[in-house]
Structure 1
Amino acid sequence: MSRPSTGERLGHLVRRECEVARQALAASGSVHGRVHEARKAIRRARSALALVEKRLDIGSADRTLQRVGDSLSSLRDAHATVETLARVDELDGGDRWAPAMATLRAHADQVAVVVQGGDPGFAWRQRAIARATAQLAGLPWKTVKPAHLREGLGRQSARVERSVARARKSPTPENIHRWRRRARRLRMQLEAVAKLEERRLQVDAQQPKKLRRLADELGWYQDIQALMQLVRRLPDVPERAALAARLDELLGQCQVEPVSVHKLPEPPA
């Protein structure tokens, strides 16, 4: 049996990520962990889909996946503040912010109750992902060539460069967030292409690692900001003023430098 084409392998990878997301929502265990895994798988699927946005009609399936991911953002964001405060607490020696953490954990659990109340067992979200997967299975993946993926990587590289320039000129939370999202998508695309094991698409193994470090640094900056906003919004957080001051101090220590984004070599003659 002949090896599937590059496009067919990419299509299989995308559908596999969709199934990972669906299974995460269907599983038992911590709702926060399941939602986090589902959102990551959806991001990986959508990042790979963006590589072929000019070649295949991915619009409907991609929008469905985006809606599912966005619908889980409030739950994930609430729990992410707990994780961020846990990291701050570790930096400060442990137990310093335990009472505040208990309050944030209760808030995250309440958000989970509300989200699941509107969709018991995440049933409609699972069905939506299954519909998107079926749509993607019907696309002509065989028509996708390595050159098309190279073009997709080039588009995303240009988007990252533009976001870097914008963030340097005006480092607003929105611009920093855009920079992080675009860098993360490029990293996921590079990782997806590497999995295809296509000799005409050589990927520098160090580049995804650099982009991951960058995204982690930008994420820490954003996580502190999000935590600060929540602390200021929730009136019952213990030691609000002291915690807000500490977070402000950590923000001032954040220094993020851009990295050069990946440029694929020319294909062999």
Structure 2
Amino acid sequence: MHGQTLGDNLRRICRKQIEGAIAITTGEKKTSDTPVHEVRKHLKKARAALRLVRKEIGHGLFREQDRCLRDVARLTSEIRDAEVRLQTVRQLQGITQRRARGGYTKLEGMLILELENFMAAFAEWQTQAVPMLERAHANVDCWPLDQFNCKQLRCAVQRSYKGARKALARAEAAPTTENFHRFRTRAKRLWYELRILRPINPVVLKNLSDDLRAMANLLGRAHDLSFLADRLRGGNEKSEWEREGHKLLAVIEVSQGDLQRGAAELAEHFFAERPRDFGDRIASWLKDWENQTAPSLAEALVR
């Protein structure tokens, strides 16, 4: 294990993700996507590592660390929401134009203005975020994980699998936007955890991670549509962008349902296995990994 314990590796993963968020926030690292989106992805990966050791570090320390990372994400939530609405309209505009249904240029223009207003209103988010991220980074060293072992890691991943499986059952029993969003959140949490574990069985865990990513992407697109629809409803259709938005609602409703059904079909297959059986598979891979020279667990997210 290259002289590093499981606890060392998980601390290293979390630190690396926070460092990535700091580098983007300070402008040291350029990104292909928007800085806000990239920072939020780093935060989600850091929180995934944190959740794996939730029981071991204690409720108080977990809550403090998780709240700090969550608060950084909240600094950018309004900007990210506006980005998502604009991106979703642009995607729908491409689809509807191919089907000769016309464009939504007035609506797009309104959303561009809305995004610019949020960016101006929260222009200082980087200044606020950096000290919070630096504090979270320093606190990772306080995680008491010297005795953290493979059994505890297996139990943490199994809990995440079980939670996602239950959330899927609720979404299928009551297919509301809120229930599908909760399932997506749980599935993404498991996805990040399996990414961390990938070195213990690269081929199988890559396939499992890819399946979860496909599910999360479908549900993410469905949620983005619902989020946009909420913004478009309630208008009096007096302005041109409101009339365009009203026409778009029918397209959104059909597309959202298709995406949710597609994700549910994938999820039923993925989560057919009982949580204990899934945990047993993780345990067997961890045991094999422990008994051989293998890459650091941190490698999956560090390189």
1:242 paired with 2:242, answer: no
Report the Cα offset of residue 203 of structure 1: 5.4
TM-score of the pair, normalised by structure 2: 0.79
Question: What is the match of residue 229 of structure 1?
Answer: 230
**Is the Cα–Cα contact under 8 Å of residues 193 and 203 in structure 1 kept in the other structure?**
no
Question: What is the match of residue 140 of structure 1?
Answer: 144
Report the Cα offset of residue 34 of structure 1: 0.7
Query: Which is helix-richer, 1 or 2?
Result: 2
Report the Cα offset of residue 138 of structure 1: 2.4
Amino acid at match of 2:134: A
Out of 45, 61, 65, the position equivalent to 2:65 is: 61
Report the Cα offset of residue 249 of structure 1: 3.2
Q: Deviations over 1:28-49 (max 9, x none)?
A: 879x811101111000100111
What is the total number of aligned residue pairs between the two structures? 263
**Is the Cα–Cα contact under 8 Å of residues 75 and 125 in structure 2 kept in the other structure?**
no
Q: Give the unaligned 5+ runs of structure 2.
A: 289-303
Q: How many percent of aligned residue pairs carry the same amino acid?
A: 24
Q: Provide the C-alpha distance between the structure 1 equivalents of 2:43 and 2:4, rounded to a whole number of angstroms.
A: 24
Closer/same/farther in 2, CA of residues 218 and 2 from structure 1, 3 Å limit: closer
- For the aligned residue pairs, the C-alpha RMSD in angstroms reads 2.6
Mapping of residues 29-108 of structure 1, within 5 Å: 33-57=34-58, 58-93=62-97, 96-108=103-115
Out of 169, 173, 177, the position equivalent to 1:165 is: 169
Out of 102, 121, 135, the position equivalent to 1:114 is: 121
SS in 1 for 2:87: helix
Q: Deviations over 1:227-260 (max 9, x none)?
A: 1111235675252321223223323433232242
Q: Provide the C-alpha distance between the structure 1 equivalents of 2:254 and 2:228, rounded to a whole number of angstroms.
A: 13
Report the Cα offset of residue 209 of structure 1: 0.5
Q: Provide the C-alpha distance between the structure 2 equivalents of 1:38 and 1:174, rounded to a whole number of angstroms.
A: 25
Amino acid at match of 1:42: L
Q: Provide the C-alpha distance between the structure 1 equivalents of 2:175 and 2:16, rounded to a whole number of angstroms.
A: 37
TM-score of the pair, normalised by structure 1: 0.88
After superposing on structure 2, the runs of 4+ consecutive aligned residues of structure 1 that deviate more than 6 Å are none
Q: Provide the C-alpha distance between the structure 2 equivalents of 1:233 and 1:79, rounded to a whole number of angstroms.
A: 21
Q: Provide the C-alpha distance between the structure 1 equivalents of 2:163 and 2:245, rounded to a whole number of angstroms.
A: 38
